[in-house]
Amino acid sequence: MYEISHLLKEYFAELDPLRRREILDSLPADDDTEFLRALYASRYSDHENKGRKNVDWWLWRCICLQILYGRGRFLRTFRNREVAGIIGELFMNDSHHTFLYHEYRNTARRYLSTCNSANYASRMMGFRQASDEEKVIRACQDIWQMSAGIAKSAGVEAEMHLWVESFRDELYEYSPVCREEYERLNK
């Protein structure tokens, strides 16, 4: 399922936006490449027009989904409306499942690549740094919240199915502990 060519594998494995652009430019011009270009443009554009370069808009939407998961019940209507907006922005209703699946995994991988930083999951105002194990557990929780958690909470599991599946698969590859933690959170 979701099989892709060697060159595309390289494209979806790369996390650096500039390097990805180079690979994208080297792809033959066809409908698939056009769709990938559309995905690229959507993902690495400064949608708020604040003059920033190489903004990973999708990564920002991941963080937004996680924040929305933590919102109180009294703001649920506003929250669900925003989640619906994000579903549209991230092409979740589109039929190019294979490309979307890999692009979502790439987004999840980029998020996970930040989960090794020194201050990630630190405690007591950064005074106590987290252990590697704590960082992995926290990363699992973050990924779950921004995918399965928010989908469940907002009642949009069907619409976010591909997103949830790709994030889960990426997480399972991240660390062996993640499967158990993810399943625990899913209960």
In the complex, the residues that contact another protein under the rule CB under 8 A are 46, 48, 50, 52, 55-57, 59-60, 62-64, 66-67, 70, 72-73, 75, 110-111, 114-115, 117, 119-127, 130, 133-134, 137-138, 141-142
138 vs 168: CA distance, rounded Å: 14
Q: Find the shortest distance in angstroms from Cβ 167 to another protein.
A: 14
Query: Residue 29 CB, nearest distance to another protein (Å)?
Result: 29
The token pair that represents 176 in the structure block: 């062996």
| Least distance from another protein to the Cβ atom of residue 58, Å | 8
Q: Taking the complex as a whole, how short is the minimal distance between the CB of residue 21 and another protein, in angstroms?
A: 16
Compute the distance between CA of residue 5 and CA of residue 115 in angstroms, rounded to an integer: 29
What are the residues whose beta carbons fall under 8 Å from the beta carbon of 22, sequence distance 6 or more?
none
CA angle 73, 61, 20 (to 5 degrees): 165
Nearer to another protein, 96 or 179 (CB): 179
Q: Are 33 and 20 in contact (CB under 8 A)?
A: no
Residue 2 vs 120, nearer CB to another protein: 120
Minimum distance between the CB of residue 157 and another protein, rounded to whole angstroms?
16
CA distances from 57 to 23, 45, 89, 99, 121 (A): 20, 6, 10, 17, 23
Question: Which CB sits closer to another protein, 98 or 122?
Answer: 122
Please say which residue, 28 or 72, places its beta carbon nearer to another protein.
72
| Rounded-to-integer distance, Cα 152 and Cα 90, Å | 18
| Contact call for residues 108 and 178 (beta carbons, < 8 A) | no
Residue nearer to another protein on the CB measure, 6 or 73: 73
